[in-house]
Chain A
Amino acid sequence: GENVEQHPSTLSVQEGDSAVIKCTYSDSASNYFPWYKQELGKRPQLIIDIRSNVGEKKDQRIAVTLNKTAKHFSLHITETQPEDSAVYFCAASITETSYDKVIFGPGTSLSVIP
Chain B
Amino acid sequence: KAGVTQTPRYLIKTRGQQVTLSCSPISGHRSVSWYQQTPGQGLQFLFEYFSETQRNKGNFPGRFSGRQFSNSRSEMNVSTLELGDSALYLCASRRTGRTGELFFGEGSRLTVL
Contact = CB atoms under 8 A, between A and B. Distances in A.
Interface of A: 1, 6, 9, 31-32, 34, 36, 42-46, 49, 51, 89, 91, 93, 95-107
Interface in B43-85: 43-45, 48, 50, 55-56, 58-59
Most buried by A among B43, B59, B101, B106: B43
Nearest to B6: A43
A89 B35 CA distance: 13
B107 to A, nearest CB: 7
Contacts, number: 64
A98 B40 CA distance: 31
B40 A93 contact: no
Contact of B99 (A44, A96, A100): A100
B39 to A, nearest CB: 9
A100 B97 CA distance: 6
B104 A43 contact: yes
B59 A1 contact: yes
A20 B64 CA distance: 36
A1 B60 CA distance: 13
20 contacts: A34-B102, A42-B106, A43-B105, A43-B106, A44-B90, A46-B101, A49-B101, A89-B43, A95-B98, A96-B56, A97-B55, A97-B56, A99-B55, A100-B97, A101-B45, A101-B48, A102-B33, A103-B45, A104-B35, A104-B44
B98 A99 contact: yes
A45 B43 CA distance: 13
